[in-house]
Chain A
Amino acid sequence: MSDMNAATVTRYRDDFLKEVEANVEEGDWVKMCMQCGVCSGSCPLGPHWEHPPQELFMMIRANKREEVLSSASMWYCTSCYNCLVRCPREVPITHIMHGLAHYAERLGLAPKELPTRKFSKIFWKNLSSSGHANETSLALKLYFMNGFGEGIKKAIEMLPVGLGMLRAKRMNPFGLFAHKGCTDKKGLNAILDKAREIELAKAAKYQA
Chain B
Amino acid sequence: MSDDKKYGAYICTGCGLGERLDSTAQTNVASRDGKMGVVREHGFLCNAEGVQLIRDDLASGEVSHVVIAACSRRAKTEAFAFDDVAMARANLREGVIWSQPDGDEARETTQEMAEDYVRMACAEIKFMATPQGDPVSDTSRRILVVGGGVSGMTSALETARAGYDVTIVEKSATLGGHAATLQTRIPQQAPYREPEPSGVDELIAAIEAEARIEVRLNAALTSTDGAPGRFEVEIGTESGSTASERFGAIVMATGYTDYDMANLPELGAGKSPDVVDQAGFEALVKAADGGPIQCPTNGREAKHVVFVQCAGQRSDQEGHLPYCSGHCCLTSIRQAMHAQEAGASATVLFSDLRTPGAAGEDFYRAGQECGVTFCKGTVSEVLPGDDDLEVRYNDLILDEQTSLRADLVVLATGMVPNSGVDIDTIAAEENEEADGVAAGAEGTAQENTVTIPVESILNLKYRQGPDVPQLKHGFADSHFICFPYESRRTGIYPTGPVRRPMDMQQAQEDATGAALKAIQAVEGAALGRAAHPRSGDLSFPSFRKEGCTQCKRCTVECPFGAIDEDEQSYPLFNSSRCRRCGTCMGACPVRVISFENYSVETVGQQLKIVEIPDEFEEKPRVLILACENDAYPALDMAGMTGQHYSPYVRIIPVRCLGSVNLIWVTDALNNGYDGVLLMGCKKGDNYQCHFVKGSELAHERISKVDETLKTLSLEPERVLTHEVAITDIQRIPEIINDYMKTIEKIGLSPFKF
Contacts and interface: CB of A to CB of B under 8 A. Distances in A.
A44 to B, nearest CB: 21
Given A31-B369, A61-B374, 15 more contacts: A17-B373, A31-B371, A32-B365, A32-B368, A32-B369, A34-B353, A34-B368, A35-B376, A35-B397, A58-B375, A58-B397, A61-B373, A61-B375, A62-B375, A62-B402
Interface in A31-58: 31-32, 34-35, 54-55, 58
Nearest to A67: B398
B154 to A, nearest CB: 32
B381 interface: no
Interface of B: 353, 364-365, 368-369, 371, 373-376, 395, 397-398, 402
A29 to B, nearest CB: 10
Contacts of A127: none
Nearest to B397: A58
Nearest to B375: A61
Given A55-B398, A62-B398, A31 B368 contact: yes
B375 A34 contact: no
Contact of B364 (A34, A54, A62): A34
Nearest to B400: A62
A203 interface: no
Contacts of A34: 353, 364, 368, 374
A58 B376 contact: yes
Interface in A79-124: 89
B398 to A, nearest CB: 6
Interface residues of A, number: 13
Contacts of B375: 58, 61-62
Contact of A58 (B364, B368, B369, B395): B395
B368 A59 contact: no
A64 B397 CA distance: 13
Contacts of A62: 375, 395, 398, 402
A31 B371 CA distance: 7
B369 A54 contact: no
Nearest to B353: A34
Contacts of A54: 397
14 contacts: A17-B373, A31-B369, A32-B365, A32-B368, A34-B353, A34-B368, A55-B398, A58-B375, A58-B395, A58-B397, A58-B398, A62-B375, A62-B395, A62-B398
Contacts of B374: 34-35, 61
B376 A31 contact: no
A55 B402 CA distance: 15
A33 to B, nearest CB: 8
A55 B397 contact: yes
A164 to B, nearest CB: 48
Nearest to A59: B398
List the 10 shortest-distance A-B pairs measured between CB atoms, nearest first.
Answer: A58-B397, A35-B376, A32-B368, A31-B368, A61-B373, A58-B398, A35-B397, A55-B397, A62-B398, A59-B398
Contacts of B365: 32, 89
Nearest to A51: B398
Contacts of A61: 373-375
Nearest to B402: A62
Contacts of A89: 365
A31 B398 contact: no
B497 to A, nearest CB: 27
B474 to A, nearest CB: 33
Q: Which of B371, B374, B395 has the most CB of A within 10 A?
A: B374
Nearest to B396: A35
A201 to B, nearest CB: 25
A31 B373 contact: yes
Q: Which of A32, A58, A59, A64 has the most CB of B within 10 A?
A: A58
Nearest to B364: A34
Contacts of B373: 17, 31, 61
Nearest to A32: B368
Contacts of A58: 375-376, 395, 397-398
Contacts of B397: 35, 54-55, 58
A55 B373 CA distance: 15
A55 B395 CA distance: 11
Nearest to A57: B397
A55 B376 CA distance: 11
Contacts of A55: 397-398
A173 B594 CA distance: 105
A61 B375 CA distance: 8
Contacts of B368: 31-32, 34
Nearest to A15: B345
Contacts of A35: 374, 376, 397
Nearest to A55: B397
A198 to B, nearest CB: 26
Nearest to B345: A15
Interface string A12-23: 000001000000
A17 B368 CA distance: 12
A35 B397 CA distance: 8
Interface in A160-188: none
Contacts of B376: 35, 58
Nearest to B399: A55
A32 B402 CA distance: 22
A98 to B, nearest CB: 22
A64 B376 CA distance: 16
A55 to B, nearest CB: 6
Nearest to B355: A34
Nearest to B347: A61
Q: Which of B353, B364, B398, B402 has the most CB of A within 10 A?
A: B398
A54 B364 CA distance: 18
A151 B397 CA distance: 42
A58 B395 CA distance: 9
A17 B373 CA distance: 10
A149 to B, nearest CB: 41
A32 B368 CA distance: 6
A132 to B, nearest CB: 42
A116 B24 CA distance: 91
A31 B364 CA distance: 11
A167 B160 CA distance: 92
A34 B373 CA distance: 10
A62 B394 CA distance: 12
Contacts of B371: 31
Nearest to A54: B397
A92 to B, nearest CB: 15
Contacts of A64: 398
Nearest to A30: B368
B366 to A, nearest CB: 11
Nearest to B398: A58
Nearest to A17: B373
Contacts of B402: 62
A169 to B, nearest CB: 53
A31 B370 CA distance: 9
Contacts of A31: 368-369, 371, 373
A17 B376 CA distance: 16
Nearest to A35: B376
A59 B376 CA distance: 12
Contacts of B369: 31-32
A101 B339 CA distance: 33
Contacts of B364: 34
Nearest to A61: B373
Contacts of A17: 373
B642 to A, nearest CB: 43
Interface string A58-85: 1101101000000000000000000000
A89 B369 CA distance: 12
A162 B374 CA distance: 53
